[in-house]
């Protein structure tokens, strides 16, 4: 589990794959893919809200995971341990 935090892009489960969409203004947005068709792309953003982008100029799979690669550098040792402890409560397979 710690490796998933230290190296989040090493192995990404399909259900957690990040997507990007470039809108007609040239802005790039990231999130979880909800719906893609010829007229729009809908993503779920980091707040859990759904954003629909009409007439996107491009969209696709992100090469990197949505979680920041250096998250552990932003946490103290105690915070990192607390995060691991919390994540273990969510999934008893670890």
Q: Is 70 a domain residue?
A: yes
The total domain count for the chain is 1
Q: Is 4 a domain residue?
A: no
Q: Is 57 a domain residue?
A: yes
d(CA 49, CA 51): 7
If pLDDT is split at 50, 70 and 90, which confidence band does 92 have?
low
| Cβ 28 vs Cβ 22: under 8 Å | yes
**Residue 38 pLDDT > 90:** no
What's the CATH code of the domain at 59? 2.30.30
Q: Note the pTM of the prediction, 2 decimals.
A: 0.62
> pLDDT tens across 43-83, in order?
998 889 999 999 899 998 887 766 667 777 888 989 988 98
């Amino acid at each position: 589990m710690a490796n998933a935090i230290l190296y989040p892009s090493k192995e990404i489960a399909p259900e957690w794959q990040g997507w990007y969409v470039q809108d007609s203004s040239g802005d790039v947005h990231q999130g979880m893919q909800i719906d893609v068709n010829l007229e729009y792309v809908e993503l779920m953003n980091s707040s859990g809200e759904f954003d629909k982008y009409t007439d996107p100029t491009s969209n696709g799979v992100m090469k990197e995971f949505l979680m920041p690669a250096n998250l552990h550098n932003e946490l103290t040792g105690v915070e990192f341990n607390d995060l691991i402890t919390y994540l273990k409560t969510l999934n008893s397979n670890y």
